[in-house]
Protein backbone atom coordinates (compact mmCIF):
# COMPACT_ATOMS: atom_id res chain seq x y z
CA UNK A 1 0.00 0.00 0.00
CA UNK A 2 1.49 3.34 -1.05
CA UNK A 3 0.69 6.95 -0.31
CA UNK A 4 0.34 9.42 -3.17
CA UNK A 5 0.90 12.86 -1.68
CA UNK A 6 -0.61 14.54 -4.78
CA UNK A 7 -3.77 12.40 -5.09
CA UNK A 8 -5.03 10.41 -8.07
CA UNK A 9 -6.56 13.33 -9.98
CA UNK A 10 -3.83 15.45 -11.55
CA UNK A 11 -6.34 18.24 -12.20
CA UNK A 12 -7.93 18.21 -8.78
CA UNK A 13 -6.95 20.78 -6.17
CA UNK A 14 -3.99 23.13 -6.12
CA UNK A 15 -0.62 21.36 -6.49
CA UNK A 16 1.13 24.36 -4.96
CA UNK A 17 -0.46 23.79 -1.55
CA UNK A 18 1.09 21.42 1.00
CA UNK A 19 -0.67 18.04 1.42
CA UNK A 20 -3.55 18.03 3.82
CA UNK A 21 -3.17 16.48 7.23
CA UNK A 22 -2.65 17.57 10.75
CA UNK A 23 0.74 19.17 11.25
CA UNK A 24 2.79 18.47 14.33
CA UNK A 25 5.39 20.75 15.86
CA UNK A 26 8.98 19.84 15.11
CA UNK A 27 12.07 21.42 16.60
CA UNK A 28 14.26 22.85 13.81
CA UNK A 29 17.39 21.05 14.98
CA UNK A 30 20.59 21.45 12.98
CA UNK A 31 21.18 18.50 10.70
CA UNK A 32 17.51 17.65 10.25
CA UNK A 33 16.50 17.13 6.59
CA UNK A 34 13.12 18.61 5.65
CA UNK A 35 11.23 19.67 2.54
CA UNK A 36 9.62 23.07 2.04
CA UNK A 37 6.32 21.91 0.60
CA UNK A 38 5.46 24.87 -1.64
CA UNK A 39 8.80 25.00 -3.49
CA UNK A 40 9.77 21.35 -3.10
CA UNK A 41 13.21 22.42 -1.84
CA UNK A 42 14.74 19.62 0.22
CA UNK A 43 17.68 20.38 2.46
CA UNK A 44 19.45 20.01 5.74
CA UNK A 45 18.86 22.62 8.43
CA UNK A 46 22.09 24.62 8.67
CA UNK A 47 21.01 27.70 10.62
CA UNK A 48 18.05 28.94 12.62
CA UNK A 49 17.66 32.68 13.16
CA UNK A 50 15.46 32.85 16.23
CA UNK A 51 15.11 36.65 16.19
CA UNK A 52 14.24 36.74 12.48
CA UNK A 53 12.04 33.66 12.62
CA UNK A 54 13.83 31.97 9.71
CA UNK A 55 15.48 28.65 8.92
CA UNK A 56 18.24 28.08 6.36
CA UNK A 57 18.30 24.82 4.37
CA UNK A 58 21.16 23.41 2.28
CA UNK A 59 20.48 20.82 -0.41
CA UNK A 60 22.83 18.11 -1.67
CA UNK A 61 24.33 20.52 -4.22
CA UNK A 62 25.29 22.94 -1.42
CA UNK A 63 22.68 25.47 -2.52
CA UNK A 64 21.12 27.31 0.42
CA UNK A 65 17.70 28.91 0.79
CA UNK A 66 16.04 30.66 3.71
CA UNK A 67 12.40 30.13 4.70
CA UNK A 68 10.16 31.40 7.51
CA UNK A 69 9.79 29.12 10.50
CA UNK A 70 6.31 27.69 10.94
CA UNK A 71 3.99 25.49 8.87
CA UNK A 72 4.58 24.34 5.31
CA UNK A 73 7.35 21.78 5.81
CA UNK A 74 7.47 18.01 5.35
CA UNK A 75 9.48 15.60 7.44
CA UNK A 76 9.59 12.10 5.93
CA UNK A 77 6.47 13.01 3.95
CA UNK A 78 4.45 14.21 6.94
CA UNK A 79 3.49 17.87 7.47
CA UNK A 80 5.26 19.61 10.33
CA UNK A 81 5.46 23.07 11.85
CA UNK A 82 9.09 24.03 12.37
CA UNK A 83 9.78 25.87 15.60
CA UNK A 84 13.03 27.27 16.95
CA UNK A 85 14.85 24.78 19.19
CA UNK A 86 14.57 25.34 22.91
CA UNK A 87 17.68 26.98 24.25
CA UNK A 88 19.46 24.63 26.61
CA UNK A 89 21.13 25.96 29.73
CA UNK A 90 24.80 26.59 28.90
CA UNK A 91 27.17 23.98 30.27
CA UNK A 92 30.76 24.73 31.04
CA UNK A 93 33.06 22.73 28.81
CA UNK A 94 35.63 20.53 30.53
CA UNK A 95 37.55 19.41 27.44
CA UNK A 96 38.82 21.04 24.26
CA UNK A 97 37.91 19.81 20.78
CA UNK A 98 41.10 17.71 20.80
CA UNK A 99 39.94 15.87 23.94
CA UNK A 100 42.38 17.60 26.30
CA UNK A 101 41.23 18.82 29.68
CA UNK A 102 40.75 22.57 29.80
CA UNK A 103 43.31 24.17 32.08
CA UNK A 104 42.18 26.45 34.90
CA UNK A 105 44.17 29.31 33.37
CA UNK A 106 43.03 29.45 29.73
CA UNK A 107 44.83 32.67 28.81
CA UNK A 108 46.97 32.32 25.69
CA UNK A 109 50.70 32.23 26.35
CA UNK A 110 53.30 34.30 24.59
CA UNK A 111 54.20 32.37 21.44
CA UNK A 112 57.17 30.04 21.68
CA UNK A 113 59.99 30.47 19.16
CA UNK A 114 59.21 26.96 17.89
CA UNK A 115 56.73 26.63 15.04
CA UNK A 116 54.56 24.08 13.25
CA UNK A 117 54.28 24.41 9.48
CA UNK A 118 51.48 22.82 7.46
CA UNK A 119 51.13 22.70 3.67
CA UNK A 120 48.08 24.82 3.03
CA UNK A 121 45.30 26.97 4.36
CA UNK A 122 42.84 24.10 4.70
CA UNK A 123 45.33 22.14 6.80
CA UNK A 124 45.82 25.15 9.06
CA UNK A 125 42.06 25.69 9.45
CA UNK A 126 41.47 22.06 10.38
CA UNK A 127 44.30 22.09 12.94
CA UNK A 128 42.97 25.35 14.40
CA UNK A 129 39.43 24.02 14.73
CA UNK A 130 40.46 20.92 16.69
CA UNK A 131 43.69 21.94 18.44
CA UNK A 132 43.36 25.73 18.57
CA UNK A 133 42.74 25.90 22.34
CA UNK A 134 45.67 23.58 23.05
CA UNK A 135 48.03 25.49 20.79
CA UNK A 136 47.18 28.82 22.41
CA UNK A 137 47.59 27.30 25.87
CA UNK A 138 51.03 25.99 24.89
CA UNK A 139 52.01 29.09 22.94
CA UNK A 140 52.63 27.23 19.67
CA UNK A 141 51.96 29.05 16.39
CA UNK A 142 50.89 27.24 13.20
CA UNK A 143 51.74 28.65 9.78
CA UNK A 144 50.91 27.37 6.30
CA UNK A 145 53.43 27.08 3.50
CA UNK A 146 51.32 26.94 0.35
CA UNK A 147 53.21 23.81 -0.74
CA UNK A 148 56.49 22.16 0.25
CA UNK A 149 58.60 22.42 -2.93
CA UNK A 150 60.85 24.98 -1.23
CA UNK A 151 60.80 23.32 2.19
CA UNK A 152 64.59 22.72 2.48
CA UNK A 153 65.26 26.41 1.82
CA UNK A 154 62.53 27.43 4.27
CA UNK A 155 64.10 25.26 6.96
CA UNK A 156 67.53 26.80 6.33
CA UNK A 157 66.09 30.29 6.70
CA UNK A 158 64.28 29.27 9.89
CA UNK A 159 67.60 28.05 11.38
CA UNK A 160 66.21 25.53 13.91
CA UNK A 161 67.92 25.03 17.27
CA UNK A 162 67.05 23.20 20.49
CA UNK A 163 65.23 26.37 21.61
CA UNK A 164 63.68 27.00 18.22
CA UNK A 165 62.28 23.73 16.88
CA UNK A 166 60.42 23.30 13.62
CA UNK A 167 57.74 20.69 12.99
CA UNK A 168 56.26 20.14 9.53
CA UNK A 169 53.05 18.34 8.56
CA UNK A 170 53.07 17.02 4.99
CA UNK A 171 50.17 15.76 2.88
CA UNK A 172 50.49 12.44 1.02
CA UNK A 173 53.74 11.37 2.70
CA UNK A 174 53.94 7.88 1.21
CA UNK A 175 56.92 5.95 -0.25
CA UNK A 176 57.89 7.17 -3.70
CA UNK A 177 55.92 10.41 -3.59
CA UNK A 178 57.40 13.83 -4.28
CA UNK A 179 56.66 14.73 -0.67
CA UNK A 180 58.67 11.80 0.65
CA UNK A 181 61.70 12.75 -1.49
CA UNK A 182 61.62 16.31 -0.14
CA UNK A 183 61.26 15.07 3.44
CA UNK A 184 64.29 12.81 3.01
CA UNK A 185 66.43 15.87 2.37
CA UNK A 186 65.72 17.00 5.94
CA UNK A 187 66.35 13.69 7.67
CA UNK A 188 69.00 13.71 10.36
CA UNK A 189 68.40 17.28 11.51
CA UNK A 190 67.83 16.98 15.28
CA UNK A 191 65.66 20.06 15.68
CA UNK A 192 63.39 19.43 12.66
CA UNK A 193 60.56 16.91 12.60
CA UNK A 194 58.78 16.17 9.33
CA UNK A 195 55.75 13.91 9.62
CA UNK A 196 52.87 13.27 7.29
CA UNK A 197 49.62 11.51 6.64
CA UNK A 198 48.83 9.19 3.70
CA UNK A 199 45.93 11.20 2.26
CA UNK A 200 46.11 12.97 -1.10
CA UNK A 201 44.65 16.05 0.57
CA UNK A 202 43.74 17.00 4.12
CA UNK A 203 40.05 16.77 3.17
CA UNK A 204 40.42 13.01 3.46
CA UNK A 205 41.47 13.35 7.10
CA UNK A 206 37.78 13.94 7.85
CA UNK A 207 36.01 10.62 8.38
CA UNK A 208 33.78 9.94 5.35
CA UNK A 209 30.77 9.04 7.50
CA UNK A 210 30.69 12.64 8.70
CA UNK A 211 29.67 13.50 5.12
CA UNK A 212 27.20 10.65 4.88
CA UNK A 213 29.39 8.47 2.63
CA UNK A 214 31.05 5.09 3.17
CA UNK A 215 34.41 6.17 1.74
CA UNK A 216 36.06 9.01 -0.14
CA UNK A 217 35.73 8.64 -3.95
CA UNK A 218 38.76 7.55 -5.96
CA UNK A 219 39.76 10.31 -8.38
CA UNK A 220 41.85 9.58 -11.52
CA UNK A 221 45.30 11.18 -11.56
CA UNK A 222 44.37 13.06 -14.71
CA UNK A 223 41.73 15.02 -12.77
CA UNK A 224 42.50 17.74 -10.23
CA UNK A 225 41.67 15.97 -6.97
CA UNK A 226 39.51 18.58 -5.23
CA UNK A 227 37.53 19.32 -8.38
CA UNK A 228 37.08 15.60 -8.91
CA UNK A 229 35.75 15.19 -5.37
CA UNK A 230 33.28 18.05 -5.84
CA UNK A 231 32.15 16.63 -9.19
CA UNK A 232 31.55 13.19 -7.68
CA UNK A 233 29.36 14.76 -4.98
CA UNK A 234 27.48 16.91 -7.49
CA UNK A 235 28.91 20.11 -6.00
CA UNK A 236 29.89 23.19 -8.03
CA UNK A 237 33.61 23.15 -8.88
CA UNK A 238 34.14 25.72 -11.61
CA UNK A 239 36.51 28.00 -9.72
CA UNK A 240 38.37 28.50 -6.46
CA UNK A 241 35.34 30.06 -4.82
CA UNK A 242 33.43 26.79 -5.38
CA UNK A 243 36.31 24.79 -3.88
CA UNK A 244 36.38 27.12 -0.87
CA UNK A 245 32.64 26.63 -0.30
CA UNK A 246 33.07 22.87 -0.55
CA UNK A 247 35.82 22.94 2.08
CA UNK A 248 33.72 25.15 4.34
CA UNK A 249 30.95 22.55 4.15
CA UNK A 250 33.38 19.71 4.97
CA UNK A 251 34.95 21.65 7.84
CA UNK A 252 31.49 22.35 9.28
CA UNK A 253 31.14 18.59 9.82
CA UNK A 254 34.10 18.55 12.20
CA UNK A 255 33.33 19.21 15.85
CA UNK A 256 36.16 17.37 17.61
CA UNK A 257 39.00 14.90 17.22
CA UNK A 258 36.48 12.05 16.96
CA UNK A 259 35.57 13.29 13.46
CA UNK A 260 39.14 12.85 12.16
CA UNK A 261 41.14 9.82 11.03
CA UNK A 262 43.71 8.45 13.53
CA UNK A 263 46.51 8.71 10.94
CA UNK A 264 46.04 12.48 10.99
CA UNK A 265 45.40 12.85 14.72
CA UNK A 266 48.60 11.09 15.73
CA UNK A 267 50.81 13.21 13.51
CA UNK A 268 49.44 16.52 14.80
CA UNK A 269 49.81 15.40 18.43
CA UNK A 270 53.37 14.31 17.65
CA UNK A 271 54.21 17.74 16.25
CA UNK A 272 52.74 19.56 19.25
CA UNK A 273 54.79 17.39 21.62
CA UNK A 274 57.92 18.07 19.58
CA UNK A 275 57.39 21.83 19.46
CA UNK A 276 56.89 22.02 23.24
CA UNK A 277 59.91 19.93 24.26
CA UNK A 278 62.16 21.75 26.73
CA UNK A 279 65.45 23.01 25.34
CA UNK A 280 68.42 20.66 25.56
| Domain encompassing residue 143 | 115-206+254-275
Report pLDDT digits (tens) over 37-52. Answer: 999 999 999 999 988 9
> Which of 128, 170, 127 is closest to 147 using CA atoms?
170
Report pLDDT digits (tens) over 78-99. Answer: 999 999 998 765 666 666 776 6
As a whole number, mean pLDDT of residues 125-147 equals 90
* Residue 236 placed within a domain: no
What pLDDT shows up at residue 22? Answer: 73
In this structure, are 39 and 123 located in the same domain? Answer: no
- Residue 137 pLDDT exceeds 90: no
Strand-by-strand arrangement of the 24-27 sheet? 24-27, 78-83, 70-75, 33-36, 41-49, 54-58, 64-68
* Residue 45 placed within a domain: yes
- Residue 190 pLDDT exceeds 50: yes
Which residues, 6+ apart, have CB-to-CB distance to 32 below 8 Å? 26, 44, 45, 75
- Residue 7 pLDDT exceeds 60: no
- Residue 227 pLDDT exceeds 90: yes
- Residue 110 pLDDT exceeds 70: no
Which stretch of 7-11, 115-119, 166-170, 235-239 has the lowest confidence by average pLDDT? 7-11
Average confidence score pLDDT of the chain: 86
> 46: exposed, middle or buried (C-beta count within 10 Å: 0-12, 13-18, 19+)?
middle
CA 21 to chain centroid:
39
Last residue of some domain: 66, 83, 100? 83
Which residues, 6+ apart, have CB-to-CB distance to 48 below 8 Å? 28, 30, 54, 55, 56, 69, 84, 85
State the CATH number of the domain containing residue 61: 2.30.30
In this structure, are 70 and 123 located in the same domain? Answer: no
Beta strands in the chain (DSSP E): 24-27, 33-36, 41-49, 54-58, 64-68, 70-75, 78-83, 115-118, 141-144, 166-170, 192-196
In this structure, are 126 and 192 located in the same domain? Answer: yes
Q: Which residue has better confidence, 216 or 60?
A: 216
In this structure, are 30 and 140 located in the same domain? Answer: no
Amino acid sequence: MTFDRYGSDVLGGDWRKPPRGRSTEQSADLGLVVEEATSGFVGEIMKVERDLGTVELENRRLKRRTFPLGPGFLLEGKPVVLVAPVRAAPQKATRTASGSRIAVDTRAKVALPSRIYVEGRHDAELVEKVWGDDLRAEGVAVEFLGGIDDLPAIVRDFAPTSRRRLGVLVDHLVPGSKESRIAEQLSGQPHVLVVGHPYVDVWQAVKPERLGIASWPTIPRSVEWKKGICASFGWPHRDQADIARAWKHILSRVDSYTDLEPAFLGRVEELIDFATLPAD
